Amino acid sequence: MKHALALDIGGTKIAAAIVSETGALIQRAQCPTLPAEGAEAVLGRAIALGRRVMSASPASAPVAAGVGTGGQVDVADGHIIYATPLLPRWSGLPLRQRLEEAWGLPVQVENDVNAAGLGESTHGAGRGQRHLLCVAVGTGIGGAIVLDGRIYHGATGLAGHLGHLSIDAIRGRRCGCGGIGCVEMYASGPAIEAAWVKQVGPRRTRQWLACEPKEVTVAKIAALAAGADEGSAPARQLLGQAGGYLGQAIASLLNVLDPQLVVIGGGVAQAGEPFFAGIRQAVRERAMPSVQQTPIVPAALGPDAALVGAAMAAFQRLQAGI
């Protein structure tokens, strides 16, 4: 049985694990990212964490390493093209080269959402499916496209950024990307929380969610929606509406990509059935007939998806002999 070292570098924490070819996580460790200390300090922590997990692991020595990181990645040489604001000064870093020098292993670097998509497709909700669309809904909306069992990166590594698909280019809200009506402005966590405050108002927010408007979270709305208390019906309606917006974008993507399955992950996916019902209804109304019944399911691996997928990307690179 072969093993790979896997790292998931996010804005808050760095997670590491030794992962088997069958997707089992054997040894884990994590540390804070502390991105304000700069890219070199983050890189140093990532290298040390990888060494720590390798030396503690009872499994055979890893044959390769896979790394999921925030930002846009040049997968050909493993450098960071553009870093997310959560990892300032990460842009331009030759991450693969630096990690290969430090660990003495072949390293594959992937965007973290892409890594999570590959993890779901190989060992999660999409197990056994070759063509998969994975949508991550949290503070923003990201995505990954898996075609023929491999991540589709596009020409510049940007593929999968479906949060900026417009669902209302005429009267829509202006987005930070410069676009109008991007789905992220309607179905991300902050968008759902803002819609709640706008539609329900401060008085009923205090009454139904027992918090101030600025403390509203999707998790609180989802908990209310799951019960039968006063306010549960408007909570379900609001989550269904947000799901409907996301479903409009997914319907367009189904027409283009025709995947076997759509997997929805990220914190907002915990909003549960009303959110998923909204997505499925919009897809039935808007997608072309052949793809209207494409299964749309919750992600299965949770926060481990990127670790599993990063390891699988490393095994795939070894297999390809690149």
Taking alpha carbons only, the member of 176, 151, 138, 155 closest to residue 266 is: 138
Please report how close the Cβ of residue 186 comes to Zn ion at its closest, in angstroms: 11
Rule CB under 5 A: choose which of 182, 209, 271, 282 binds Zn ion.
Answer: 182
CB under 5 A: which stretch of 24-32, 57-65, 105-113, 176-184 binds Zn ion?
A: 176-184
Query: Near Zn ion by CB under 5 A, which window of 146-154, 171-179, 268-276, 289-297?
Result: 171-179
- Characterize 233-267 residue by residue with b for buried, 16 or more Cβ atoms within 10 angstroms of its Cβ, and e for exposed: ebbbebbbbbbbbbbbbbbbbbeebebebbbbbbe
Smallest gap from Cβ 275 to Zn ion, in A, equals 21
> According to the binding rule CB under 5 A, does residue 175 interact with Zn ion?
yes
Query: Cβ neighbours of residue 194 under 8 Å, at least 6 residues apart?
Result: none
Q: By CB under 5 A, is residue 26 in contact with Zn ion?
A: no
Q: Is 179 in the site for Zn ion (CB under 5 A)?
A: yes
Contact residue for Zn ion among 177, 210, 211, 256 (CB under 5 A): 177
Least separation in angstroms between CB 161 and Zn ion: 9
Angstrom distances, CA of residue 100 to CA of 18, 64, 89, 210: 16, 9, 20, 51
**Region binding Zn ion by CB under 5 A among candidate stretches 14-22, 158-166, 208-216, 218-226:** 158-166
The residue range among 115-123, 159-167, 189-197, 232-240 that interacts with Zn ion, by the rule CB under 5 A, is: 159-167
Rounded to a whole number of angstroms, the minimum distance from the CB of residue 300 to Zn ion is 28
Q: Does 44 bind Zn ion (CB under 5 A)?
A: no
How many alpha carbons fall within 13 Å on the CB side of residue 95? 36
Interface with Zn ion (CB under 5 A), residue from 164, 220, 236, 286: 164
* Distance in Å, CB of 143 to Zn ion, minimum: 13
CB of 84 to Zn ion, least distance (A): 14
What is the Cα 313 distance to its own chain's centre? 16
Contact 31, 45 (CB under 8 A): yes
Residue number, 120 or 184, with CB nearest to Zn ion? 184
Find out whether 90 and 39 touch, Cβ atoms under 8 Å.
Answer: yes
Is residue 169 a contact point for Zn ion (CB under 5 A)?
no
Tell me if 172 contacts Zn ion by CB under 5 A: no
For the bound state, the minimum distance from the C-beta of residue 165 to Zn ion, rounded and expressed in Å, comes to 9
Q: Closest CB to Zn ion among 147 and 175?
A: 175
**Residues in binding contact with Zn ion, number by CB under 5 A:** 5
Residue 270 contacts residue 259 (beta carbons within 8 Å) = no
Residue 169, classed as helix, strand or coil, is: coil
Min CB(37)–Zn ion separation in Å: 30
Q: Does 161 bind Zn ion (CB under 5 A)?
A: no
* Distance between start and end Cα atoms, the chain: 21
Give the interface segment with Zn ion, choosing from 27-35, 41-49, 85-93, 160-168 (CB under 5 A): 160-168
For residues 112-140, b (16+ Cβ closer than 10 Å) or e, as one string? bbbbbbbbbbbbbbbeebebbbbbbbbeb
Between CA 270 and CA 257 the distance in angstroms is 25
**Please, are residues 157 and 72 in contact by the beta-carbon 8 Å criterion?**
yes
Binding residues for Zn ion (CB under 5 A):
164, 175, 177, 179, 182
